[in-house]
Amino acid sequence: MMGFFDIFKSKPLEQEREVEQKTESDFSHFEEVTEYLYTRSGITDLGSRRVSISKLKSFSKEENIHTTEEFLSKLQRDSNFYQEVLNIVTVNETYFLREVKELEWLVSLVKESSRDFKILSLPCSSGEEVYSILILLSEQDIDLSRVEIVGYDLNSKMLEDAKKAHYSERSVSNLTPTQKQKYFMQNGDGTYEVVPQLKARARFEQNNIFELQKKNEFDILLSRNMFIYFDEAKRDKATDIIVNLLKEGGYFIKGHADTIYNHPKLEGVRYGVYRRV
Ligand SMILES: C[S@@+](CC[C@H](N)C(=O)[O-])C[C@H]1O[C@@H](n2cnc3c(N)ncnc32)[C@H](O)[C@@H]1O
């Protein structure tokens, strides 16, 4: 038989169960979310990335969102939520001097010319590509004031990291000890921080390639290791946008793993490099 005090013990338990039932999540038709993210940001392989999907679901529960419908509606009306979701699902792997041959070619192009260059790294992730270019230009004693260099990426967290410019041992492992000593300050926590003279030369902006409308703006545009996450339709669209961003005669450098389609306004110059005609 239930004693007097048992009434007080059992009530909260019942209430807890009721709350649990009410907040039980139903993420059926979650492919609607991946479809939405594909349309807006171009990310195609999300549906097959089980870890990213389960991260998204845990994140939404933390945000007190328990159905696909609520998730979608918040994505559409809350830009901060959309940004946090993008920060979870984008793949940001990068490091210094990645695919360095094309970077060396870029530096020789600048060195052989006397004019100024406007360069875009799209996507720049946490900034390693931008600072690698600045390091290689400095190694050739090129006056950095001739070069304006900017990095764009979709992931706001990566851009914060790019601006801080603190890098791990792993990220700088392709640099020589002399380069590390010359272009970084070693912090107490073991990270390498880019020297202020180079930091001051780099600019970073958050942008989704599919929302860019600028035209004839850059002399050199690097787009490496982003096309691999796009399907053919998005790759074609991204190539059109890149062609528009380039000045006539400007250069597009793609990543080794990236596939692009033949474009009437792009002619091959050397492996992985195209010129806008
Ligand atoms: C693997 S990183 C490549 C970084 C660097 N270019 C490299 O080759 O090391 C891919 C980056 O693409 C960015 N990205 C994905 N979709 C994008 C989009 N629609 N617009 C701009 N950046 C995007 C991601 O946020 C991620 O930082």
Residue positions counted in the chain: 277
* Rounded Cα gap, residues 57 and 73, in angstroms: 15
Residue identifier of the C-alpha nearest atom 23 of ligand 1: 154
pTM: 0.90
Is the predicted pLDDT of residue 1 greater than 80, yes or no? no
The response to whether residue 93 sits with its C-beta less than 6 Å from ligand 1 reads: yes
Q: Provide the pLDDT for residue 18.
A: 46
Sheet hosting strand 147-153, strand order edge to edge: 202-206, 147-153, 117-121, 218-223, 246-254, 273-276, 266-270
| Helix-helix angle 68-77:79-89, to 10 degrees | 110
Tell me where in the chain the CATH 3.40.50.150 domain(s) lie. Answer: 100-276
- Protein residue whose Cα sits closest to atom 20 of ligand 1: 208
pLDDT for position 6: 52
Summarised one tens digit per residue, pLDDT across range 135-193 is 999 999 999 999 999 999 999 999 999 999 999 999 999 999 999 999 999 999 999 99
Residue 15: what pLDDT? 52
Q: Mind listing the pLDDT tens digit for each residue in 111-132?
A: 999 999 999 999 999 999 999 9
Nearest CA, atom 3, ligand 1: 225
Topology annotation, domain 100-276:
Rossmann fold (3.40.50)
What is the tens place of the pLDDT at every residue in 215-237?
A: 999 999 999 999 998 999 999 99
Decide the pairing of beta strands 192-194 and 166-167.
antiparallel
* 48 class by beta-carbon count within 10 Å (0-12 exposed, 13-18 middle, 19+ buried): exposed
CA of 88 to the centre of ligand 1 (A): 13
Count of H helices and E strands in the chain? 11, 10
20 falls in which pLDDT band (50, 70, 90)? very low
